[in-house]
Each structure stands twice: as structure tokens, then as C-alpha cells.
Amino acid sequence: MIRELTCIICPKGCQLKVELDENKKVISVTGYTCKRGEVYANTECTAPMRTITTTAAVIGGGVVPVKTDKTVPKEMMFDCMKVINQVRVSEDAKLGDIVIENILGTGANVVTTRNVKI
Ligand code: SF4
């Protein structure tokens, strides 16, 4: 079985072809132009990971953009979003402040990507 993917590691967006056996084990990867693309294809076909980029509510109103500082398992994104939707960020939070530490045991922190007060 051949799976076609677009590499999302950099804007070049190389088109990858991954050959998988009947147990969905990667046999070969083609189409990448750097090693990161090969690693991405292997990970995407075995244990896909994603960075979460979203907003979180601020105490007193409004929202601030946040993201995870590491990738989290793709299948945990929905549960992570539920946790992020419950948080209320301080009005004094600054760029890079940790809003949620080690979200759901993933090892990733949720951090602000700008100051709350602009
Ligand atoms: S394979 Fe390398 S060059 Fe191509 S999109 Fe992925 S990271 Fe970018």
C-alpha cells in the first residue's frame, strides 16, 4: 500500500510517498529532499504528532494566542483542547508564559505566543 503525504515540516511542502506493508509498517519513503521529511513520514505513519495552536480565555475577557511548546500525539489533540478551553490566563501574562504545564502528561507545556496586554 502506498500512502501519499505532504511534508508539513517546512513551507516547501515536498510530496512524500510512503510504502507500507500489510501491518502498516513503513517499508520505504520517497519524495523528501531532506532527512526531516523522511523522519516526518515515518512518524506520521506510525505515531502522528501535532503542535496545537489556538487561543485561551483571559480573566476579565478576551483571548490570547497559545500553543504547545512540543508536539503532542495527534489522537490527544481533542482532549488537550478541552483542557485549554477551561483555562483562564492572567491579564498580566507575558509572551512565553506557561499557561498549562505538561498538558495531560504529554510533556508539552501550553505557552502564550504574545503578551496579553498589547
Ligand atoms: S522534506 Fe525537507 S525540504 Fe521537503 S518539506 Fe519536508 S522539511 Fe521541507
Report the atom number in ligand 1 closest to the C-alpha of 34.
2
Q: For the chain, what are the domain ranges?
A: 2-46, 53-112
The rounded mean pLDDT for the chain is 97
Residues 8-52: pLDDT tens digits? 999 999 999 999 999 999 999 999 999 999 999 999 999 999 999
Asked whether the predicted pLDDT for residue 118 surpasses 90, the reply is no
pLDDT value of residue 83: 98
Q: Which of 4, 8, 9 to mutate to test the pocket of ligand 1 (most atoms within 8 A of CB)?
A: 9
Amino acid 77: pLDDT: 98
State the distance from the centre of ligand 1 to the C-alpha of 21, rounded, in angstroms. Answer: 24
Distance 15 CA to ligand 1 centre (A): 9
pLDDT for the residue numbered 12: 98
Pick the CATH number of 53-112 from 3.10.530.10, 2.40.30.10, 3.20.20.10, 3.40.50.720: 3.10.530.10
CA distances from 38 to 1, 15, 22, 29 (A): 17, 11, 20, 6
What digits encode the pLDDT tens for the residues 88-116? Answer: 999 999 999 999 999 999 999 999 999 99
Residues contacting ligand 1 via CB (< 6 Å): 7, 9-10, 12-14, 32-34, 36-37
How much is the pLDDT for 116? 96
Instruction: Count Cβ neighbours within 10 Å for each residue of 3-12 and write b for 16 or more, e otherwise.
Output: eebebeeeee
Instruction: Give the span between the Cα atoms of 13 and 103, in whole angstroms.
Output: 29
